Amino acid sequence: MLIPHGIDDRVRNRGPINLGLSHDTSQCACESFRWYWNRMGTRCSPEATSLLWLCDCGGSNAANQSLFKHDVQGLADQLGVEMRVAHYPSSCSKYHWIERRLFPHSTRACQGRLFDTLDTVVTFMRKASTSPGLRTTVNVMRRHDETGRKATAQMKQNLRIVFDNLLPKWNYRAIPQDATVIN
């Protein structure tokens, strides 16, 4: 099973793709972003105090999942950077830039290929590019993600999520543990 998590770095015209080998979980989504931030983000944006995630509304990063918010909160605490999350409403992921700018090109690069090995998949996905210069990198996340996790009452109580005034169901911030909350 391959679970692709992509990051559309529009400023640098790069498309890092992380391939999970386990399950599509909120841990997998957060690990994908952690890998990107530690590997590329801190070098390119060392002064960043907050990061914006544009997420679809289903699967591992669903807007209505407290477990995703808990894992994003843990990532914000670990990285010491505020995570601003904006979800596209259900059935609107087709308007998400990554769905038009990155994934079609990685899919095209793999079209008609037999995925006989993991190296074959990685090799073809790395070849994805566009004439305006978008280039991909591919990382394989070799970890086992726990399935069946449930958000406990204590997890929900300990969240320091600040919901936006506009569309709070889909827009919120995970504040790092040591930061001051400003509304």
Alpha helices in the chain (DSSP H): 26-36, 42-44, 66-79, 97-101, 103-110, 118-126, 153-158
Dist CA 97 CA 125 (whole Å): 18
Structure token digits, residue 149: 């996790």
Question: pLDDT by residue (tens digit) across 8-58?
Answer: 888 888 888 999 998 888 999 999 999 999 998 899 889 999 999 988 877
Which residues, listed in sequence order, are joined to residue 137 by a DSSP beta bridge? 16
Q: What is the pLDDT of residue 180?
A: 56
Q: What percent of the chain has pLDDT over 90?
A: 43
Sheet bearing 161-163, strands edge to edge: 50-55, 82-87, 171-174, 161-163
Q: What is the pLDDT of residues 81-106, one digit of tens each?
A: 999 999 988 777 677 777 777 888 88
Q: What is the pTM of this model?
A: 0.85
Under 8 Å between Cβ of 83 and 54 = no
83: its two tokens: 């995570």
Domain boundaries defined on the chain: 3-174
pLDDT level of residue 6 (50, 70, 90 thresholds) = confident
Residue 181 banded pLDDT, cuts 50, 70, 90:
low
How far is Cα of residue 135 from the mean position of the Cα atoms in its chain?
18
